[in-house]
Structure formats: C-alpha cells, structure tokens
Amino acid sequence: MNSIHKAAAFLCFLFAANLANAKLNVLLIVCDDLNTHVSTSGYPHINTPHLDRLSKESLIFNRAYCQYPVCGPSRASFLSGLYPESTGVLNNKIDIRETRPGTPSLPQFMKENGYWTGGVGKVFHTVRHEPGELGWNEYHRFENDEFPFVTEARKKFEAENGSVERGKTRRQWKEKLSGLFTQTRGQQSPGYGPSGLNDSQHRDGRNARKVVEWLGEKSYGDKPFFITVGIHKPHVPFIAPQKYFNLYQKNRLQFELNPVNDWNDIPKMAMVKRFSGFGFELGKENDPLRREYTQAYHACVSFVDAQIGLILDKLKEQKLWDDTIVIFTSDHGYHLGEHFMWGKVTLFEECVRVPLVVRVPGVSKAGTSSEGLVETIDLFPTLAELCKLAAPEHLQGGSYAGLIREPSGEGKPSAYTVVSRGNQLGRSIRTRRWRYAEWGATEAAELYDLERDPREYTNLAKSSKHRAVLNRMKDTLTKRRKQAGSAGNPPRK
C-alpha cells in the first residue's frame, strides 16, 4: 500500500472512529394535556400530516403511561426519573427542589454531560419551577398576541374607563373580559374558539420558530444539542387560528356515547367533578356542547402538528436528521367526555395513556410499533443509554432502549400511576390485560379486563369469578407502591 492509500485509509479510520464516538443530538417534544387523539395512537378522525410522516420513520409505543395525570407532578416525575411518591410533588404548587434538594433534572444532567441545552415553552410546570442556568444554556417562554376582537373591545372599554393598566380598572377589565367571548373565559369555565391570530402570533408558533432559529444559526456551536420543545396546546383554553377549526365540521365529529349507568359500579372517589366547569352533568350527554369542545381540541392538535412540522423540516434542511433522536410525547392524557369526564386527574385509560413516538437514527426501525408497557418515568434513563451516558444511580425508571431495538419485547410487567384525592392517593396499575385501582381502601377498588373491556365500563372488583385476579393485582400494587416511594437521595456534590 503506497503512502497515499495509507493516508486515505487512516482518514477513513478517523472518520469512522469519530462517528462511533459522536453523541446524537436530542429533540424532545412534550405537549400539554394531549391525549391519544392523534393518528400515531390509531385515532383516525384527526388531521396531523407532520406527525404522520414522523411516525412512518419512527417507532410508536402503543402502551405508554404517565405516573400522575396532572401537569406539575407528571413533569417533575419524568424530568427527574422518579415516581411522584419519591419526588414529593403531588400537586401543581410543590417544587421538587424543595422536597428533594440536589436532585438533578434531565436538562441539568444533559448539560453537565457536555450537551448544549435549549428549552422553549412549558417544560417544567411554570417559570418558577424551571431550573434556570442550572439546566438550560438558553430558555424562553412566549405569550400570545392580543386577539383582534379583544383589542377592539378593550379600546371601547378604555374610552369609557381609562387604561386597563391601572389597578382598579385592570381588575374591572379582567372580570368583564371573561364574560365577553368564549375564547376569553378563565380556568373555571374553559375557553375555546378561533383566536383571530396567525400561527406565528401564538406562543407555540413562537416556540417552534425559536427552535428553527437555533437550528439555522447553530446556536449549539460544536456541542451536541438537547432541545426540549414544551408545546402549550392543547391545554385549555382550546384556542387556535381559524384555519384549524375549518378542518373539523362539528356535525361530522364522531365519538362513542357512554352507558347511562356507567358510574353505578365505580367508586365515587374515582370521579373528578371538573365536568361541571365545562358545562356538563354526570350521566347526561350534551351533544352540541361536546361537539364545540371536541372541535376546538382537535383544532389545537392540528395547530400543534403544523408547528412541529416546521421543526422537523429544519432538522432535515440542516442535515441533522440522521444525527438527532426525536421523541414526541405528552405529560398525560385528557378526557373529552369519556365516562362523562372532562379534563384530567383520573386513573382511566383516556387520562393516563400518552402518545409516544421515538426515532433513533441507526437504532429504531421505520414504521414499527411496540405493545410493550413503558412509563413516562423511563424517559430519563432511556436517553442516558441512547446518548451513551451513565445514568444516575437513584433513578427509578428503566430504559426502554431495548424495546427500541426490538419492539416485540414485553416491556415492563406493569405501569403504575397515582393521583390525589384530598390527603389520600388513588393508586393504579396496568398489566397487558388488567387494570386495578385502590381508592384509600380495598372496598373502594376497580378491576377491568382491558382485553374484553378496553373502555373500562365494567368494574369486576366485586366479581367472585375474578377474585384470584384481584388478589394478584392487589399484591402487585402493594409491591409497586413500596418501590415508588423508595428512591434514595442523590449524592451531594
């Protein structure tokens, strides 16, 4: 071999070695309150072309479950790799930095391991919960522009009452505004409707465009990047540009009606009365109102899809597609009338199951799916393994990288979820076939056969024929409960 051939061979060796040692970038997309009304979860009545094309190149997890179906506790859980009973975060107010000082978050872990970390939108529950410079090299939260119809109403109000920036007048305007339009209602009675804005005037539009800017300008420099896109929608209010509402005619929306006696065999503690804020009554269908809210929710999902499309296009344009792990998911599910429930904070399938789409260059197989059970708590250790990093020893989640390599695997034996009811916790586990829940006492229990009753209409907890199954699930729940509260503190630095 002459010197030229030797030099060429050495350069090829160096290139291969650098490629093997190079760390993949990570793009993590987390939606807020997104249930499985997405095509990637088999829901056919939705328009999401960008998620469709992502799924064709990715692995879809069909049985991914959150650990607490409320924003703050769920995010504290999967961003720390710990179950809620170990984070101590059991409502939206508590901060894990107070309950477990020194516990590293996923962004902090990635930053400490050489990644450039960027976050936009709602990643942790509020700005107050965000880790700041400890976790992010750069972080932004944006707001919507004022709706045009609100601007018009505000100017008329100010002409009579003075500027809404003044204390008393500001309060008066806020009270008046909540009753002027369906779009401007408060949290108690959730708002919905076309915003009158274009995509780029919405905060999620700004979130996506900031990420596009980072990718275009290579803000990450010579480091691999870990970018988290915290999509606010479809969280209430269900607001999106008009064109996304136009995709869904209310009279063509399809949904299954609930049995009138659905709640006859379900413990009352399993219920959350949020439905009344939406304007519904338990046990009664309100078809026109359900169509209003469902149309608006679907419009938000299609709006979200369009923003995600901008980011995916930029990854490919910048030739980063084959160097970037892409994960799309949600913090928890959401009821849109199932079991007569609206919103979150239940342990039913609609509230706890989340969409999960994963693409890992060179590892995941395009257009595949997995029925293996996984939990959102598994995100942290999974990314650590995929990025060839040593995961912290105190993590309670388990990596599902093995399922990414071989989707036919079983996954976890069970998925564990809790939710608060006053000072008590409702606890639930799912296996491949069964779901069991306890609400403070074993007599307030639920047992469903998910193979024969996937919508969880028939509670078998008092069925003598299922006593053996119930006892087995009860024992499993007891073991999972002990595990969930057993995390030790991270080592002090």
Q: Model confidence over 351-403: pLDDT tens digits?
A: 999 999 999 999 999 999 999 999 999 999 999 999 999 999 999 999 999 99
The answer to whether position 482 is within a domain reads no
Nearest one of 169, 170, 193, 288 to 242, comparing CA atoms: 193
Residue 63: helix, strand or coil by DSSP? strand
- Tell me: pLDDT of 422 over 50: yes
Q: How confident is the model at residue 129 (pLDDT cuts 50, 70, 90)?
A: very high
Domain containing 353 — which CATH number? 3.40.720.10
Beta strands in 293-364 (DSSP E): 324-330, 335-336, 342-343, 353-359
Neighbouring C-beta atoms of residue 365, cutoff 10 Å: 15
Number of compact structural domains in the chain: 1
Tokens of 220: 């990450």
pLDDT of residue 13: 42
Instruction: To the nearest 10°, report the CA torsion of 145, 149, 154, 160.
Output: 170
Give the pLDDT score at 12.
Answer: 43
The answer to whether residue 137 is domain-embedded is yes
Which residues are 64's β-sheet partners? 354, 374
Nearest to 367 by CA among 377, 357, 375, 376: 357
b/e 199-236 (16+ beta carbons within 10 angstroms → b): bebbbbbbbbbbbbebbeeebbeeebbbbbbbbbbbbb
492 pLDDT above the threshold of 60:
no
320: pLDDT strictly greater than 70:
yes
> Is 139 within the bounds of a domain?
yes
Pairing of strands 192-194, 415-421: unpaired
pLDDT band at 94 (very low <50, low <70, confident <90, very high): very high
Residue 426, domain member (yes or no):
no
What pLDDT is attached to residue 491? 54
Name, in order, each residue with C-beta under 8 angstroms of 450's C-beta and a sequence gap of 6 or more.
349, 430, 432, 433, 434, 435, 456
Per-residue pLDDT of 7-54, as tens digits, reads: 445 444 433 334 445 799 999 999 999 999 999 999 999 999 999 999
Per-residue pLDDT of 187-235, as tens digits, reads: 889 999 999 999 999 999 999 999 999 999 999 999 999 999 999 999 9
pLDDT tier for residue 166 given thresholds of 50, 70 and 90: confident
Q: Are strands 238-240 and 324-330 parallel, antiparallel or unpaired?
A: unpaired
pLDDT score of 253: 96
In 360-457, where do the E strands start and end?
368-370, 374-375, 415-421, 424-430, 434-439, 445-449
Q: Comparing 305-309, 443-447, 480-484, which segment has the lowest mean pLDDT?
A: 443-447
> Residue 304: inside a domain, yes or no?
yes
Q: What is the predicted pLDDT for the residue at 21?
A: 53
pLDDT at 6: 54
Q: Measured in Å, how far apart are the chain's first and last C-alpha atoms? A: 53
Q: What is the band of 113 on the pLDDT scale with cuts at 50, 70, 90?
A: very high
Inside any domain, residue 462: no
Examine residue 216 and state whether it is found in any structural domain, yes or no.
Answer: yes
Half-sphere exposure of 138 (CA within 13 A, CB side): 15
Nearest to 412 by CA among 340, 312, 479: 479
- Does the pLDDT value for residue 272 go beyond 60? yes
Domain that holds residue 293: 22-144+195-414
Mean pLDDT in residue range 302-316: 98
Is residue 489 over pLDDT 70? Answer: no
Which of 78-82, 310-314, 442-446 has the least mean pLDDT? 442-446
- Considering only the C-alpha atoms of the chain, give the largest distance between any 2 of them, rounded to a whole number of Å: 90
> pLDDT value at position 234?
98
What is the Cα–Cα distance from 211 to 227, expressed in whole angstroms? 8
- 172, part of any domain: no
Q: What confidence score (pLDDT) does residue 2 get? A: 58
| Per-residue burial over 388-424, b = 16 or more CB atoms within 10 Å of its CB, e = otherwise | ebebbebbbbbbbbebbeebeeebbebbbbbbebeee
Residue 350 confidence (pLDDT) above 80: yes
Question: Is-contact 278 305, C-beta < 8 A?
Answer: no
Q: What is the mean pLDDT of the chain?
A: 94
Average the pLDDT over 304-326 and give the result: 98
Task: Please tell me whether the overall predicted TM-score, pTM, comes out greater than 0.75 for this model.
Answer: yes
